[in-house]
């Protein structure tokens, strides 16, 4: 498995391309992602959103049209794909598959697991593919997603942190912004964040 990363737009939102078994999965195509994605895929099979904030989904619709592949979006954030109070110019997109909570998929032979961690937004999820976990805006290196945005929920974030505290793997985490980290490294920070949220 090979993972390509490119920070996109003013918020430097990480767009990822996961190359596995001669196929590619695109994760969080943000602002201006289309040209980079098109230059780096040969056999794309799906677009996945970790959540619905505009800086992660800006190029959804353009890539859907160009590539004719399915879009998977957490169900709780589907409404954010049609309208963004922060960014009125957001190109609207419609998922082919609404991911309901924790859900597993086999996409062209590739096992994909969505793990629902609401708080930053209703649909906020981490996506597991092999030994990689794409943590979106739930977890960053030494930090977590904000819980003071519209549709954020501090209590949901606390419950999500408790849920994450039960993880025992040491997979690499690829966040929506910044550098990779690991499950075990971020587990050490859970108690602190629970005292803050």
Structure tokens at 139: 């977890």
Tell me phi and psi for residue 34, to 5 degrees. Answer: -60, -50
Question: To which H or E segment does residue 35 belong?
Answer: helix 33-40
pLDDT in tens, 17-40: 999 999 999 999 999 999 999 999
Residue whose structure tokens are 């589907």: 78
Residue with tokens 């109070």: 85
Does pLDDT of 88 surpass 90?
no
State the average pLDDT over residues 2-14: 97
For range 50-70, the mean pLDDT = 97
pLDDT score of 76: 97
Examine the pLDDT at 89 and tell me if it is beyond 90: no
For domain 2-196, the CATH architecture is 4-Layer Sandwich (3.60)
Q: Are 25 and 45 in contact (CB under 8 A)?
A: yes
Residues recorded for the chain: 197
The whole-number pLDDT of residue 193 equals: 97
pTM of structure = 0.97
pLDDT of residue 86: 74
Nearest to 163 by CA among 196, 187, 136, 127: 187
pLDDT of residue 84 exceeding 90, the answer is no
- Find the mean pLDDT for residues 45-53: 98
Mean pLDDT of 102-106: 98
Q: Are 73 and 123 in contact (CB under 8 A)?
A: yes
Q: Kindly provide the b/e burial profile for residues 33-59, where b requires at least 16 CB atoms within 10 angstroms of the residue's own CB.
A: bbebbeeebeebbbbbbbbbbbbbbbb
d(Cα 25, Cα 23) in Å, to the nearest integer? 7
Number of continuous H segments (helices) and E segments (strands) in the chain: 6, 14
List, for residues 152-188, the tens digit of each pLDDT value.
999 999 999 999 999 999 999 999 999 999 999 999 9
Q: What is the residue-averaged pLDDT of the chain?
A: 96
């Amino acid at each position: 498995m090979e993972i390509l990363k490119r920070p996109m737009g003013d918020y430097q939102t990480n767009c990822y391309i996961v190359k596995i078994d001669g196929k590619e999965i695109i994760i969080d195509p943000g602002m201006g992602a289309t040209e980079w994605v098109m230059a780096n895929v040969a056999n794309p099979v799906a677009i996945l959103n970790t959540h619905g904030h505009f800086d992660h989904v800006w190029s959804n619709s353009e890539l859907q049209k160009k590539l004719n592949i399915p879009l998977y979006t957490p169900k709780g954030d589907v409404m954010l794909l049609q309208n963004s109070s922060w960014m009125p110019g957001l190109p609207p997109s419609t998922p082919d598959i609404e991911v309901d909570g924790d859900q597993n998929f086999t996409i062209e032979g590739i096992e994909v697991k969505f793990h629902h961690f609401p708080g930053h937004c209703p649909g906020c999820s981490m996506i597991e593919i092999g030994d990689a976990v794409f943590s979106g805006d739930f977890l960053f290196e030494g930090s977590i997603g904000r819980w003071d945005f519209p549709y954020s929920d501090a209590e949901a974030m606390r419950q999500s942190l408790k849920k994450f505290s039960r993880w025992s793997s040491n997979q690499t985490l690829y966040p929506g912004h910044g550098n990779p980290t690991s499950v075990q490294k971020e587990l050490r920070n859970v108690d602190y964040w629970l005292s803050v949220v």
